[in-house]
Amino acid sequence: MRLTLRHQIILAPATVLLLLALLLAFMQLSYWDLTLKRQAARRLGTVVMALAEADLATQRIYRLTVVLSNETLIDVAQVSELAMLYQHLDDASDRIIDNLDMEKDARERFRETVHKLNPEFGFDAERFAAAIADLRPQYVTLSEEMQQRRVALNQVRSEDIDDLVTRTTFVSIVVLGTAILLGILLSLYFSRRILRRIQALSDSARRIAQGELVAPTPPEVVKDELDELTLSISRMTDKLIRVVSTEKLLEGAEEERRRIAMDIHDQTLADLASVKRGVESLKESEACSDEAAGLEENLQKAIRNLREVMDNLHPQTLDILGLGVALESHLERHFSADGLPQYHFHQTGKAEQVQMPKFASLAIYRIACEAVHNVIKHSKANRYEVSIDVVDNRFSLVVEDNGCGFDAEQVLGSSHRGLHNIRERARAIGAQVGWKPSRFSSGTRFEIYVNLSSFSQEV
C-alpha cells in the first residue's frame, strides 16, 4: 500500500520525533528509580533527625523527673518545661512513625510508651522512669538501624548514579545516531521517489508544451496526489489532442475552401471572362445581337453567383481589410434586404487595430455569421445588434437580439449542428462562448471572448 504524498513527506521527521520521544521516556523511567531512592534517603534523614530530637527530649525529661522526685514542692516552671519537652518528644515521635516503615503493633506500642510521659495525666516518677527506660533502647536500636540503612542507601545511590549516567549516555548516543541516520535515509528514499516522479511529470508536461502530445501512462489505481496529477495530465492531454485535431481539421477545411475559391477565380472565372468576350463580339453582329444580349445577362448572373460562392468559401475582404469590414460587408450583402430584421453594427477603435492570426479571424468571422444566421432563422426578432470591442486585452464579439429567446443548455444538449459548430470553432482558438438573456425586454445575447495574449507569439 503506497503512502500518500503528505505522509511520505512527514514520515522522516515523524520517525525522528518518535525515537526522541522514546528516548525521553526511557530517561524518565531511568531517573524515576533514582528519584524514589532519593526520597527514601530524605525520609531516612528525617527519621534520624527526629530520633536525635526525641532522644534529647527524653534525656531532659529524665533529668527533670529526677529533680522533681527529690523535691517536696512541685515547681510550676519545671512542670511547664516538662510539658514543652513532651511536646517536642511527641512531634519527633510523629515524624518517626510517619517516615519509618514500622509494623502496626510496634507503632502502637511506641506511641503508647511516649504517651506515658504526658504530664497532663499527672506526674508519676515511677511511670516516667519506666517509660524512659523503655524508650531509650528503642532510640538506640532505631538510630543504629537508620544509620546502616543510610550508609547502604548512599552507597547504592552512588553506584546507581554512575550506572545511570553510563547507561543513559550510551542509549542516548545510540538512539540519537539511529534517529539521525534513519531520518536521513527515509528523507533520501522518499525525496528521490517523489522527485523522480515529479521529474517524469515535468518532462511529460514539457513535451506536451513543445507539441509532442504523448500523455503519461495513467495509473490503474489512484494512491496519492502525484497519481491524481498524472491522471489529470493524461486527461488534459487527451482533451488537448481532440482540440488540436479539431483545429487541424478546421484549418484543413478552411485551407481547402481557400484553394477551391482560388481555383474558381483563376480558372472558372477566367474561362467565363473569355466566354464573355466572345459574347460581346457576337453582339457586334446584327444577326446575333439579341441572342448575345440574353447570353451576356445570364453570363453576368453566373459570374456574380460564382463570386458569391467564392466569398462564402473564403472571404477575400477578410484577408485584405480585416474582420470588422468583412463582417459588415457580409451583413450588407446578405441581411440588408427588405423583410429582414434591422441590424446595427458597431466596432470600436481598439477592435479595428487588433491583429489576429488568419485562422482566428476566420473562425470568429464564421462564428459571427452563424450567430446572425440563427437570429434570422430562429429568433423571430425584428432588431439585432452586432458589436466588436477589446476590453482588458480580451477581444469580444456580441450578437444581441430582441426575439423570443431560447434555453441554451437544452438546445446545446440536442443535435443542433450550428451551435455545435460554434463551440468547436471557439474551442479551436481558445475562445469562450456563452448565451444569456438579452438587454432588450426579450431575446438572446450571444458572446464570444478570446484572450489576445494567447496570439502574441503567432501574429
- Each domain of the chain, given as residue ranges in start order, spans 5-188, 231-313, 320-459
Residue 351 CB neighbour total at 10 angstroms = 19
pLDDT given at position 303: 66
Confidence at residue 430, expressed as pLDDT on a 0 to 100 scale: 82
Q: Which of 347, 315, 322, 354 is nearest to 454 (CA)?
A: 354
Ranking 62-66, 104-108, 128-132, 452-456 by mean pLDDT, the lowest is 452-456
- 243 half-sphere exposure, CB direction, 13 A CA radius: 15
* β partners of residue 346: 387
Tens-digit pLDDT profile for residues 410-432: 776 555 677 878 888 888 788 88
**For the ranges 120-129, 181-190, 278-287, 433-442, the one whose mean pLDDT is highest:** 433-442
Confidence check: pLDDT of 354 > 80: yes
- Where are the alpha helices (H) located in 71-124, listed in sequence order? 76-99, 104-115
Q: Are 450 and 394 in contact (CB under 8 A)?
A: yes
Q: How far is CA 7 from CA 128, 196, 200, in A?
A: 79, 17, 21
Q: Does domain 5-188 have CATH number 2.160.20?
A: no
- Beta carbons of 434 and 445 less than 8 angstroms apart: no
Q: Is the confidence at residue 112, as pLDDT, over 50?
A: yes
Length of the chain: 459
Sheet holding 342-347, edge to edge: 342-347, 383-391, 394-401, 444-451, 432-437
* Mean pLDDT for all residues in the chain: 78
Residue 144: pLDDT above 80?
no
The closest of 324, 443, 272 to 374, measured between CA atoms, is: 443
Among 71-75, 124-128, 154-158, 382-386, the range scoring the smallest mean pLDDT is 154-158
First to last CA, the chain: 51
pLDDT, residue 459, reads: 44
What CATH number has the domain spanning 320-459? 3.30.565.10
Identity at 264, one-letter amino acid code: I
Beta carbons within 8 Å of 65's beta carbon, 6+ residues apart: 82, 125, 128, 129, 132
Predicted TM-score of the model (pTM)? 0.45
Query: Residue 204 in 3-state DSSP?
Result: helix
Do 351 and 301 contact (CB within 8 A), yes or no?
A: no
